[in-house]
Chain A
Amino acid sequence: MEIKTEAMKRCEVVTVSGRIDSATAPELEKVLLGLIQSGQKNIVVNLSDTEFISSAGLKALLSALMKVRKSVPAGDVVIAEIPSQLKESFDLVGFDRLFKFHDNTLRAVGSF
């Protein structure tokens, strides 16, 4: 799994490539936590190149969302370009009602 981060004017884009499984999810969690702790509360997670996400990855995303929503002013973690197979897992655990989804990373960035 590879993670690239790119700072935009009003948010950070986190692009994940490869598989987010129980072995690699801690790294994603560390990146997200690092951003939040350094003051970046608006995050776009680009999953266009992500092949797989296990519950550990889902948990890392939910944890990040909870943290940014608690800050003042509240931030957001939005999901861009999620593959349909991954979206199914998000739906199964009710994440479709918690996260915002965008078909396009630029639009996701523009939503902030």
Chain B
Amino acid sequence: MDEQSRSTSNGSLALLVEYKLKAVMENVPVATKCVARVAQEVGFGEHALYQIELAIDEACANVVEHAYPAQQEGEMEVSCYLDDRPGLGRAFVIRVRDWGTGFDPAAVERPDVDAPLEDRGLGGLGLFLVKQVMDQIKFRFDPQRGNELLMFKRLELAE
């Protein structure tokens, strides 16, 4: 169903692993552990691994909580790639896919992290954190092919 590797206009993308899981909360730590193990093999240090775990926890939790209606048992697919871009270096790419209503990061309000307590809201913290710890995120809405959230983290040699 999915390509094993493909060339992008800038370089090449190699699929490392792909997991299909039921979109239930119990699978969020499962997905996190799997991605963290791959990321560790790729060479990320402790600090970056922690950040990657933050991102994958958030992305999967959002699918579990928002992608499908309560009665429907949906699926989520978690894939990890290595993206080698000439001149830009190597990036670790995590893709989280769902076939439901999808989760659009653009629709989430940015929390005001400088506001005093009485003006703080509870929403948007997760996505905000993902944007701080990952280098780039992209979202594509396509319920047929699967809504995709892509998260990129540059692989720096000295971690």
Which residues of A are at the interface with B, using a C-beta cutoff of 8 A? 19, 21-24, 52, 54-56, 58-59, 62-63, 65-66, 69, 85, 89, 92-94, 97-98
Please give, as numbers and ranges, the residues of chain B lying within 8 Å of A66 by CB-CB distance: 117, 120, 122
Classify chain B: how many residues form its interface, as a range.
20 to 34
> How many pairs of residues, A versus B, come closer than 8 Å at their CB atoms?
73
Assuming the A-B contacts A22-B25, A22-B28, A85-B50, are A62 and B57 also in contact, with contact meaning beta carbons closer than 8 angstroms in the complex?
no
B residues 73-96 in Cβ contact with A at 8 Å: none
Question: What CA separation (Å) do A21 and B122 show in the bound complex?
Answer: 16
**Which 10 residue pairs of A and B lie closest in terms of their CB atoms, listed nearest first?**
A94-B113, A55-B126, A22-B61, A55-B125, A54-B57, A23-B25, A22-B28, A92-B132, A21-B57, A23-B28
Which residues of the other chain, A, contact B25 by a CB distance below 8 angstroms?
Answer: 22-23
Interchain CB contact under 8 A, B120 and A56? no
Does residue B114 face the partner (Cβ distance < 8 Å to A)? Answer: yes
B29 at the interface (CB under 8 A from A): yes
* A93→B57 contact, CB < 8 A: no
Which of B54, B113, B114 is within 8 Å of A54, CB to CB?
B54
Task: Assess whether A63 is in contact with B113, with CB atoms less than 8 Å apart.
Answer: no
CB of B159, distance to nearest CB on chain A (Å): 13
Interface assignment of B147: CB less than 8 Å from any CB of chain A: no
- In the complex, per-residue mask of B113-143: 1 if CB is within 8 Å of any chain A CB, else 0: 1110100101001101100110000000000
Partner of B126, one of A54, A97, A98: A54
Contacts of B111 in A (CB 8 A): 93-94
Chain B residues with CB under 8 Å of chain A are 25-26, 28-29, 32, 46-47, 50, 53-54, 57-58, 60-61, 64, 111-115, 117, 120, 122, 125-126, 128-129, 132-133
- Tell me the complex Cα distance, A22–B32, Å: 11
Closest residue on chain B to residue A52 by CB atoms: B53
- Residues of B contacting A58 in the complex (Cβ-Cβ under 8 angstroms): 125, 129
